[in-house]
Chain A
């Protein structure tokens, strides 16, 4: 393939990926109620989004849920990954199989399986049902990421640590965790993103008392063109952009 052709191809794919988002942002300044035709410039929709307290409650709920699910999944998943790496125990294969199955199970199947379980056990749908569901689908990803990093640890290090009199907990805290730190961070980021964006599973296990952002956006999107939604999405996209740039900047600073 010739070089200009390559660049053209890349550009076309990027265009495909970015045009919808660009349109969204442009139309968030459109002065119309439910039309996609241009009716003039306005900032009203942003003002409305900023004032919509229910929306910000949903944002807060989503953040809260993502942080608590990530913390728990990271805790359980890391311990599991280390055990899988260090010990031989009965049922190890079964555990690995179960993790694998959960990763490949389609979201919708997991969502309804949990919905059936919750409604039969009488757990009402709300924060706790969402929390359990999110932790469950995050755990396998943590295990995979942490496990693949743990494989690079030299096993002699454990012998050395115990020779020097370190307890199991000390070994864990002072040796394993620092080595695994990059994996823990990327695992946490992945969990956070998965949880913050999940729609299919949350759709089935969320209840009226605890509304989260993706569900809220889904119900707004069902109303068709909705300029307030455009404004909200543009804000969210801007926020992501800032965070990404920031993290890029931080890593670059570290390198130099």
Chain B
């Protein structure tokens, strides 16, 4: 009896994930080694051309640019989000819930809608320029829309909670007595922050950064709407290969490369964190 239930549930999920997770990914890998053919999806002919294409300096440039944008966005989210998460985690519990609710409320509306709203703020005659002009801070409207900055702001706006939440969860959990102990020992607040609080929230920071960095490279619709359709993010590059150039094999190759980079990053983190844990255990 046990077996029947077990076979059914394990079989069900294994089948589903193998077909739609594993198989689809393998098909994509195979596709990335096939030859491009304008009249069909691909020709059944092995080639490395698609990967060679990606080592073209221009594609390399877009990889770098995409990394750069994603890095800046992640850093900005961390700088904005960490203090926010910290302040919230020190609030009384009832207020904490309200604060979190307020944080998440805008995120229950579609991300497209929020990006579109951002568009209307950043326009030449949008709210931001109108406000700055009327306050006399600037005299010429800023040309923000359709620039990298606009894409960056849009990404930060969309991804900020993904940074705040893991850090908050982490900070909220840790033992307040540690801070008390440090205070009793006469440590200054900044020292406590640097030596105790930040090191303890590293897992939250890493989690938040992962959740922000990857989407920041691939959320193509944000740079479509805010960046003026110049191919800025890796996501745009992939989208273009599929929908504009109709070159599926190369699009597949780009995705495979993205996945490989992501996997390497995670492995490094995993390896390092394991080592540190071992190290601590050894002490």
Residues of A within 8 A of B (CB): 1, 6, 9-10, 13-14, 16-21, 23-24, 27, 36-37, 76-77, 79-80, 82-83, 86-87, 89, 91, 95, 98-99, 101-102, 104-110, 112-117, 119-120, 132-133, 135-136, 139, 143, 167-169, 172, 193, 196-197, 199-200, 203-204, 213-214, 217-218, 221-222, 225, 229, 233, 236-237, 240-241, 244, 248
Query: Contact: A248 with B101, CB < 8 Å?
Result: yes
Query: Contact: A233 with B116, CB < 8 Å?
Result: yes
B16 cross-chain contacts in A, Cβ below 8 A: 76, 135-136, 139
Query: Contact: B106 with A109, CB < 8 Å?
Result: no
How does the 8 Å CB contact mask read for B194-221 relative to A, with 1 for contact and 0 for none? 0000000000000000100011011111
B111 cross-chain contacts in A, Cβ below 8 A: 197, 199
Query: Contact: B1 with A229, CB < 8 Å?
Result: no
Q: A20-B118, A104-B214, A136-B20 are in contact. List 20 more A-B contacts (CB 8 A).
A: A9-B83, A27-B120, A36-B123, A36-B125, A76-B16, A79-B8, A79-B9, A87-B2, A98-B22, A102-B17, A106-B258, A108-B220, A109-B259, A112-B255, A116-B28, A117-B20, A117-B27, A199-B110, A200-B235, A240-B109
Given A10-B87, A77-B13, A89-B6, A236 and B259 touching (CB < 8 A)?
Answer: no
A137 → B minimal CB distance (Å): 9
How does the 8 Å CB contact mask read for B49-86 relative to A, with 1 for contact and 0 for none? 00000000000000000000000000000001001100
Would you call B48 an interface residue if the criterion is a C-beta within 8 Å of the partner chain's C-beta atoms? no
Residues of B within 8 A of A (CB): 1-2, 4-6, 8-10, 12-14, 16-18, 20-25, 27-28, 31, 41, 80, 83-84, 87-88, 99, 101-103, 105-106, 108-121, 123, 125-127, 157, 160, 210, 214-215, 217-221, 224-225, 235, 238-239, 242, 248, 251-252, 255, 258-259, 262, 266
Give the top 3 A-B pairs by smallest Cβ distance, nearest first. A79-B9, A20-B117, A80-B13
Query: Contact: B121 with A20, CB < 8 Å?
Result: yes
Chain A to chain B contacts (Cβ below 8 Å), 28 pairs: A1-B83, A9-B87, A20-B121, A76-B16, A83-B6, A83-B13, A86-B6, A95-B10, A98-B18, A104-B262, A105-B262, A106-B215, A108-B218, A112-B251, A112-B255, A113-B25, A117-B20, A120-B27, A135-B20, A193-B108, A197-B110, A199-B110, A199-B111, A218-B221, A221-B115, A233-B109, A240-B105, A248-B101
Mostly, the A contact residues are helix
B37 → A minimal CB distance (Å): 14
Residue of A nearest to B109 (CB): A237
Given A17-B106, A104-B210, A139 and B17 touching (CB < 8 A)?
Answer: yes
Distance of A186 Cα from B100 Cα, bound (Å): 16
Query: Contact: B84 with A136, CB < 8 Å?
Result: no
B12 cross-chain contacts in A, Cβ below 8 A: 76, 79-80
Query: Contact: A106 with B84, CB < 8 Å?
Result: no
Residue of B nearest to A13 (CB): B84
Query: Contact: A6 with B87, CB < 8 Å?
Result: yes
Query: Contact: B114 with A20, CB < 8 Å?
Result: yes
Given A19-B127, A20-B114, A109 and B14 touching (CB < 8 A)?
Answer: no
Residue of A nearest to B22 (CB): A98
Distance of A100 Cα from B12 Cα, bound (Å): 17
Query: Contact: A199 with B252, CB < 8 Å?
Result: no
Given A135-B16, A169-B5, A112 and B252 touching (CB < 8 A)?
Answer: yes
A181 → B minimal CB distance (Å): 18
A120 cross-chain contacts in B, Cβ below 8 A: 27, 41
A168 cross-chain contacts in B, Cβ below 8 A: 1-2, 4-5
A47 → B minimal CB distance (Å): 20
Query: Contact: B113 with A217, CB < 8 Å?
Result: yes
Given A77-B13, A98-B21, A139-B17, A23 and B108 touching (CB < 8 A)?
Answer: no
Q: Which of B10, B106, B113, B121 contacts A80 (CB 8 A)?
A: B10
B83 cross-chain contacts in A, Cβ below 8 A: 1, 9
A109 cross-chain contacts in B, Cβ below 8 A: 28, 218, 255, 258-259
Query: Contact: B103 with A116, CB < 8 Å?
Result: no
A80 cross-chain contacts in B, Cβ below 8 A: 9-10, 12-13
Q: Which of A24, A106, A204 contacts B217 (CB 8 A)?
A: A106
Distance of A130 Cα from B201 Cα, bound (Å): 38
Instruction: Kindly name the residue among A109, A172, A218 whose own CB sees the greatest number of chain B CB atoms within 10 A.
Output: A109
Distance of A143 Cα from B1 Cα, bound (Å): 23
B248 cross-chain contacts in A, Cβ below 8 A: 116
A244 cross-chain contacts in B, Cβ below 8 A: 101, 105, 108
A77 cross-chain contacts in B, Cβ below 8 A: 13
B25 cross-chain contacts in A, Cβ below 8 A: 113
